[in-house]
Structure 1
Amino acid sequence: MSILAEAAVALGYGLASALVPVVNSEAYAVVAGHRGGQAIIAVVALALGQTAGKLLLFESARRGSGQLAQKIAQRSGAGRAAARAARWTEPIRRWLSRRRTALPTVLVSAAVGVPPLAVVSVAAGTTGLRRGEFAVACLLGRATRFALLALPALLA
């Protein structure tokens, strides 16, 4: 596959995996490492696609945060599901609302996966975190994650 085709496929796959949870970008990174040659291009394009998808979630939450807050308030009486969601979202929103913990939270989530990056993306959109800072932290974390997954296969 040519370099341009590899980059386009990896970018599209990264975007799809950011929005559809069953599409696994980590598996794509490992396969790219096994194929060798253009693994770096695949990793960077995959990270760019993931970041673009997470920015869509971020912006959706930012623009609809008033409506989102109303829906959460309405459903807060829904019982166990609401309690479980609150256990994840409230600490994350607290971390993201503080300037000194917001970027490390996004970076760790993007690199490690805990807390889930999809949850962090939506929560970050409602807290006032700057779009550019979110994008850079997300891109660095994702690129690091995918490079570390592709590296053993590339070296084997």
Structure 2
Amino acid sequence: MSSLAEAVVALGYGLASALVPVVNAEAYVVVAGHRGGPVVVAVLALALGQTAGKLLLFESARRGTGRLARRLGRHSGSGRTAARAARWTGPIRRWLSRRRTAVPTVLVSAAVGVPPLAVVSVAAGTVGLRRWEFAVACLVGRVIRFALLVLPATLA
């Protein structure tokens, strides 16, 4: 596959995997590493696609913050579910609301996967994190993650 075709496919796959949880970007990059070819192109395009998809989640949360808060307030009476959601969202929102911990939280989430990047993307949109800070941290974290995953395949 040519570099341009690989870039287009990886970009589309990254975008799809950012929005549809069952589409696995990590598996794609490992297969791309075993297949050979332009691995750097695949890693960068996949990371760009993932970042674009997470920016869609970020913007959706930012623009719908009022509606999201009303909806969460209306459904918060379901006891166990609300408590389970609060365990994840409470600390994440606190980390993202502080200037010195917001970008590192996004970076770690994008690189390691804990806390989940989808949750961090939505929470970052609701707390007012700058779009460019979110995008850069997400892109750098995703490049690190995919590069580390493809490294063993390319060295073998």
TM norm structure 2: 0.99
In structure 2, what is the equivalent of residue 18 of structure 1?
18
Q: CA RMSD in A?
A: 0.5
Deviation (angstroms), 1:103:
0.3
- Cα displacement string for residues 99-145 of structure 1 (whole angstroms, at most 9, x for unaligned residues): 00000000000000000000000000000100000000000000000
AA matched with 1:6: E
Whole-Å separation in 2 of the counterparts to 1:32 and 1:61:
32
The ranges of structure 1 where at least 4 consecutive aligned residues each deviate by more than 2 angstroms after the TM superposition are none
| Percent of aligned pairs with the same amino acid | 82
Alpha-carbon offset, residue 82 of structure 1: 1.2
Whole-Å separation in 2 of the counterparts to 1:29 and 1:147: 8
Deviation at 1:79, TM superposition (A): 1.8
Determine helix, strand or coil for the equivalent of 2:129: coil
Deviation, 1:25, is: 0.2
What number of residue pairs does the alignment pair up? 156
Partner of 1:87: 87
Pairwise mapping of residues 5-154 of structure 1 onto structure 2 (< 5 A)?
Answer: 5-154=5-154
In structure 1, distance between residues paired with 2:53 and 2:80: 29
My pick for the range that moved more, 102-111 or 30-39, is 30-39
State the distance in 1 between where 2:121 and 2:137 align: 11
Q: Which amino acid aligns with 1:122?
A: V
Q: Tell me, what secondary structure is at the counterpart of 1:126?
A: helix
SS at match of 1:51: helix
| 1:37 shift after superposition | 2.3
| TM-score (ref. length: structure 1) | 0.99
Offset of 1:96 from its aligned partner? 0.1
Q: Structure 2 regions of 5+ residues with no counterpart?
A: none
Which consecutive unaligned segments of at least 5 residues does structure 1 have?
A: none
Give the residue type in structure 2 aligned to 1:126: T
